[in-house]
Amino acid sequence: MDDKRPTRIVIADDHPIFRDGLRRLLETEPDLKVIGEASDGAEAVKLARQLKPDILLLDLAMPRHPGLEALREMSTGTGSIGVRVILLTAAAEKNQIVEALQLGARGVVLKDSATQLLLKAIHTVMAGEYWVGRESVSNLVQYLRNLVQSSGEDARKKKFGLTPRELEIVSAVVAGYSNKEIAEYFKISEDTVKHHLSNIFDKLGVSTRLELALFAVNQSLPLKPIS
């Protein structure tokens, strides 16, 4: 990869003054280049497909075709765009963060963040990590585990047909445990762990550990802390 090539950015926001200010701000950085602007989500998807930027800064709350809808369209459309999406939002609800990550977003930045935080978020995402709120997230599963623990009494206690042991296995996956560590923790064989995971994936309609962790947070599964 050519380190001298600037990071190419598309800005999508329905406020022209905000877009103009953000573009001017970003272009003061020698390693960043704004290559397009969109006023709604539909235009953002179109520009992302045409221009293939490195980063799409996507406003969450646009009145026509909002950010999550645009993300959903990009995640389900034919052919992967390959753009790293950072959502810009005035206030990030937990369920919106989880849904955005499920749909492939790499970052969520609060609009009242300091300039340096937005620049750090862009560089963090370009380095292959995640950025949520005001911090980088190198271990997304660990971050999701914290979200589970913070959900508290508002958990909806849905079990989706999972047995108590399967819920324990899900808790361990969200906590970042490997199959071997789960087997040791519950004093069962790795084959038994794989069998449980296969049943869990079938019941929940997921196919990877990350999808499982995202599902667990999004649906507020009644998980137990694993220490």
Q: Of 74, 46, 47, 71, which is closest to residue 60 (Cα–Cα)? A: 71
pLDDT recorded at residue 3:
58
Q: How far apart are CA 168 and CA 166, in angstroms?
A: 5
Percentage of the residues of the chain whose pLDDT score is greater than 90: 40
Q: Which domains does the chain have, with CATH numbers?
A: 7-138 (3.40.50.2300), 143-218 (1.10.10.10)
Please, are residues 86 and 121 in contact by the beta-carbon 8 Å criterion?
yes
Q: Are strands 130-133 and 135-137 parallel, antiparallel or unpaired?
A: antiparallel
Please, are residues 223 and 200 in contact by the beta-carbon 8 Å criterion?
no
pLDDT recorded at residue 155:
45
In the predicted structure, residue 78 carries a pLDDT above the cut 60: no
Q: What is the mean pLDDT of the chain?
A: 84
pLDDT digits (tens, 9 = 90+) for 2-59: 557 899 999 999 999 999 999 999 999 999 999 999 999 889 999 999 999 999 999 9
In the predicted structure, residue 227 carries a pLDDT above the cut 90: no
Q: Of 50, 117, 124, 45, which is closest to residue 88 (Cα–Cα)? A: 117
Please, are residues 98 and 217 in contact by the beta-carbon 8 Å criterion?
yes
CB-based burial of residue 92 (10 Å sphere; 0-12 exposed, 13-18 middle, 19+ buried)?
A: middle
Please, are residues 14 and 63 in contact by the beta-carbon 8 Å criterion?
yes
Q: What is the mean pLDDT of residues 85-113?
A: 82
Six-digit token string for 12: 């999508």
Who wins on pLDDT, 56 or 78? 56
pLDDT digits (tens, 9 = 90+) for 152-203: 444 445 677 888 899 999 999 888 889 999 999 999 999 999 999 999 999 8
